[in-house]
Structure 1
Amino acid sequence: MVHCGDVDIRRYTAGVRQPWQSSHALLVIPIVLIVVITVVDQLVPADVHLGPLLVIAPAITASFADAWLTGLIGFLAVGAQAYIGWHFGVLFSRNVLVQILALTVLSAMTVFFCVMRDRRVRQLAQVRMVAEAAQHVLLWPLPEQIGSMRIACLYMAAEAEAQIGGDLYAATPTDNGVRVMIGDVRGKGLSAIGEAALLIGAFREAAHHHTSLPELATSLEKSVARNLPDLGPDEHVGERFATVMLVEIPDEGHVTRVLSCGHPPPLLLGPGSAVTVPVHPAPPLGIHGPTAGDYTVDVFAFEPGDTLLLYTDGVIEARDAGRAFYPLADRAAQWAGSSPEELLHHIRRDLLDHVGGCLDDDAALIALCHAQSTHRTHRHGPGLHVDGFGQQHGVLPPDEP
């Protein structure tokens, strides 16, 4: 694995420098400088010495080339300095020897800093690889389609160069439909990532073993309460919690069930419209540990052709220069007829334009499109049942019992 990692790092660092290395014409600049300085030094009066300016050549080369090319240009510069001394017959004079020595030392120092820079680039590449691997372990890429449900997801980390943060999402098929979770862990850093990993792991397992969404939420609450003390200092336990939205989309019919644990309600996008799905949120996970009877399941009609948009508060709380929040519902309504991938592409570009290119908080979105109402072939194994979903609020479509 180490050898594979080294290969990937070399590929990455090569990709970083590719725009520079592919333009070998840049090497003409230091070479031309060496030639020009050498020629002009021979044309100016004898009391004017331009040889020390040759140090500019390796210094410029270091900005776009690796240590080997920088060393080559430094060698040419030292050779040019020696040629100037030979041309005037003073090669072994004290002044010329000192200039040659000084230029050699400065060129060697430039090469040394190039080596250090390239080492830091490789280290940064390694860190990015680890972060990317951690992201794939923590946030598995969602499938583009589960049955008749098309899915697209988007994650934008607030931290510079970051791949992961405190937002989370997951989706899993069951015998009778699809269950989706999106959430937001309070805080940042390793403790937030650890809690996000805890929730995702618990959801992927519990989603197949609990009949109702309240039972699933209770299982997640127990996992959080049981493992939170191990994720950080004891004095921060009361400050750590997570908002979560659980969604269940059955294979048959158009009734979709949602359960909110302090999470923003989803948007239902129809032809040219974006409607906020009414929810009755319970407290976030990790607050006081409610039981299944404390949760409320809300239901709504998710018709073929509609798109359900789930998001974290990093989207709706993003502010522009005038401190105005991002109007997600209004903007999403403009692209209601787009595919899930196109919808998230438009939102991402518009959101970054709104905030001026840099988010203050992590942001995650999931778009689910109900393409058709065909029955999906059941997968074998443990799954959920269609009854016993706790308290339900909402309006059922006429064709549902």
Structure 2
Amino acid sequence: MSGRVHPATAALGALPYAVMALVILVDLTAGPAAGFLPLISLGPAFAGLTGSWRRTALIGVLSFVLCLVLGMYDGLFTGQRGHTALLSVAGVTVAGVVAAVMRRRREAELANVRSIAEVAQRVLLRPVPRVAGRLSVAVSYTSAVAEARIGGDLYEVVASPYGVRALIGDVQGKGLEAVETAAVVVGAFREAAYDEPDLTAVGTRLERALERDLPDEKFVTAVLAEAGAGPTITLLNYGHPAPLVARPDGAVAYLTPPRRALPLGLTAHGEDGPEPYDVGFAPGDQVLFYTDGVTEARNGDGQFYPLDERAGLLKEPDPQAAVDAIRADLVEHTGGPLHDDAAMLLIRYRTA
């Protein structure tokens, strides 16, 4: 592993010394009348923003000594100017040391939060099986909150006695409440996918779980899928963006449900649940499930990401490479960080 220091880090480390050297040069050339000597306190000030408290204290001591020597050279201690400059350096050094200590504490807290988030991600969004029966599976997840690692999007794949069952969803809202809701839905799905022989019954179990554990009308758009032994895949869409199917001959289509249904968690409105619908699923076919963070991502001109036009990227032989290619293209489309969580789940019917 290379021991090289990043150029930006090296530049920040050298900044306090460069500032002090510049102040010394100006003071020696322009003379004490220019009044630049107190600016030597910028050395420990910049050190406190980037370095440890020990390094900040050392640079502060160096700055104090330089200020003392220059003040004596300029004859400033016959009045108040030299003492004022020394007090400025001492005060800024103390402030810089305190800032460095507080910054290191915040960095340690952030590291702990990252570790907890990684554990939570492994529990909530554990790795899906790469191969499940006749299917190959790949996922991609990008949180809009970079430090959080996880958000309100969810997915799961379960190899049940009734076929391979998959779930992808998007929770209303953000933050810890969204993560809590996602945990309820994923936990209920993992249990119901093994127990219920009917996909509609699995959806009903998810509804009951949300109604029981989250009574504040939180809702989740979701798609449930089941690939059994037959040449079809069954879908159950709760107000979620329609999955995209890509055929071996290059044909691409959105698998729109026969009737629009409300999201999970809104059964109190009295409308009927979604109707399950079957779609042809043969060797070489693949279905891409995604959240709206993918299709609603905009570029600099305000144009949405054209997922169906990018379906050619799914021709990658490795399913995970195909999903990663879509994700890379999505990031290139937006030209920067995503503004919403984006999850993708690809299910491919393996060929011989």
CA deviations on 1:280-299 (whole Å, 9 max, x unpaired) are 354432222799x9653322
Deviation at 1:148, TM superposition (A): 4.3
The residue aligned with 1:397 is: none
Work out which of the residue numbers 180, 191, 194 in structure 2 matches 1:208. Answer: 194
Distance in 1 separating the partners of 2:136 and 2:18: 58
Match of 2:244 in 1: 267
Find the partner of 2:209 among 185, 204, 223. 223
- C-alpha contact (below 8 Å) 1:225/1:286 kept by paired residues: yes
CA distance in 2, matches of 1:42, 1:358: 48
Partner of 1:363: 342
Shift of 1:352: 3.1
Relative to 1, partners in 2 of residues 1:266 and 1:42: Cα closer, same or farther, differing over 3 Å? closer
Amino acid at match of 1:201: G
The percentage of aligned residue pairs carrying the same residue is 37
Q: Are the structure 2 counterparts of residues 91 and 364 from structure 1 closer, same or farther at C-alpha, using a change threshold of 3 Å?
A: same
Maintained 8 Å contact 2:41/2:88 = no
Q: Is the counterpart of residue 55 in structure 1 residue 32 in structure 2?
A: no
Match of 1:6?
none
Higher relative contact order (CA 8 A, sep 6+): 1
Write the distance in 1 (CA, Å) between the matches of 2:205 and 2:9: 55
Which residue pairs with 1:155 in the alignment? 141
Q: Is the 8 A contact 2:49 2:99 kept in 1?
A: no
Local SS of the residue matching 2:214:
helix
- Residues in 2 aligned to 1:254 and 1:327: alpha-carbon distance in whole angstroms: 29
For residue 184 of structure 2, the aligned residue among 198, 206, 210 is 198
Are 1:302 and 2:288 matched, yes or no?
A: no
Which residue number corresponds to residue 155 of structure 2?
A: 169
When residues 90 and 297 of structure 1 are mapped into structure 2, their CA distance, relative to the original with a 3 A threshold, is: closer
What amino acid does structure 1 have at the position aligned with 2:267? H
Tell me if structure 2 keeps the 8 A contact 1:225–1:289.
no
* Worse overlay, 342-351 or 281-290: 281-290
Q: Does 1:280 align with 2:258?
A: yes
Give yes or no for the alignment of 1:64 onto 2:64: no
Residue matched to 2:224? 246
Do structure 1's residue 337 and structure 2's residue 315 form an aligned pair?
yes
Query: What is the Cα deviation at residue 37 of structure 1?
Result: 4.2
SS at match of 1:150: strand
TM-score (norm 2): 0.84
1:1-400 paired onto structure 2 within 5 Å: 19=6, 23=10, 27-35=13-21, 37-38=23-24, 41-42=27-28, 45=31, 47=33, 50-87=36-73, 95-159=81-145, 161-175=147-161, 177-229=163-215, 232=216, 237=217, 240-250=218-228, 252-271=229-248, 272-281=250-259, 282-288=261-267, 296-332=275-311, 334-338=312-316, 339-372=318-351
- CA change 1:83–1:302 in 2 (3 A) is same
Query: Matched residues in 1 for 2:18 and 2:175: separation?
Result: 50
Instruction: Determine helix, strand or coil for the equivalent of 1:152.
Output: strand
Q: Is the 8 A contact 1:20 1:64 kept in 2?
A: no
Equivalents in 1 of 2:27, 2:274: separation in Å?
A: 85
State the AA in 1 paired with 2:155: Y
Distance in structure 2 (CA, Å) of the matches to 1:355 and 1:145? 32
Cα shift at 1:366: 0.4
Q: Distance in 1 between matches of 2:241 and 2:12?
A: 52
Tell me if the contact between 2:290 and 2:342 (Cα under 8 Å) persists in the aligned partners.
yes
CA distance, structure 1, for counterparts of residue 20 and residue 301 of structure 2 = 52
Worse-matched range after superposition: 322-331 or 41-50: 41-50
- Counterpart Cα distance in 1 of 2:324 and 2:70: 60
Contiguous gaps of at least 5 residues in structure 2:
none
Aligned length: 344
Query: Which whole-Å deviations, capped at 9, do the CAs of 1:309-354 have from their partners, x for residues lacking one?
Result: 011233223344554432211222x213113222222322332343
CA distance in 2, matches of 1:363, 1:28: 40
AA aligned to 2:38 is P
| Equivalent residues of 1:158, 1:359 under 8 A apart | yes
Distance 1:207 1:174 in 2: 6
Aligned-residue CA RMSD (Å): 3.1
1:27–1:158 CA distance, 2 compared to 1 (3 A): closer
